[in-house]
Amino acid sequence: MSKKATIGFVDGELKAVGTVGGRQDVCESLADQMTSAVGARRSVWVGIMHGGNVMDASVLLAELRRRLDVEYVYTRPLSASIYLYAGKDALGCVAMPVDELPLRLPVPPELA
């Protein structure tokens, strides 16, 4: 059973932040890590990137919505260069807390 590394930015540097075992749910693991990083029930804007597996991206978003107050979502396939390196099963997310900002950000318009 193979493990896959999860990577993230720590103090501005890209580092391994954990692993996901072959039987673990990747979406749950990523949502757990993101919740741990920003705090449960925080209001956030979320970005989700995927290697073409839209179903996994949807499941990840559902997991994030269970744990966080997701106000805005931006989902996109990985760029070609990252896709070639990471592969079709690559999945990632980023969350930006917006609940402690001094002003309310307008939600960006939908992108085509």
State the pLDDT at residue 35. Answer: 95
Which tokens go with 88?
A: 């079709």
Residue 20 confidence (pLDDT): 85
pLDDT in tens, 80-110: 888 888 888 899 999 999 999 999 888 888 7
Q: What is the pTM of this model?
A: 0.87
Fold of the 24-97 domain: Hypothetical Protein Tm841; Chain: A;domain 3 (3.30.1180)
Q: 92, 34, 91, 101: which is closest to 68 by C-alpha?
A: 34
Name the strands in the sheet holding 91-97, side by side, starting at the edge strand that comes first in the sequence.
69-77, 43-50, 91-97
pLDDT in tens, 41-79: 999 999 999 999 999 999 999 999 999 999 999 999 998
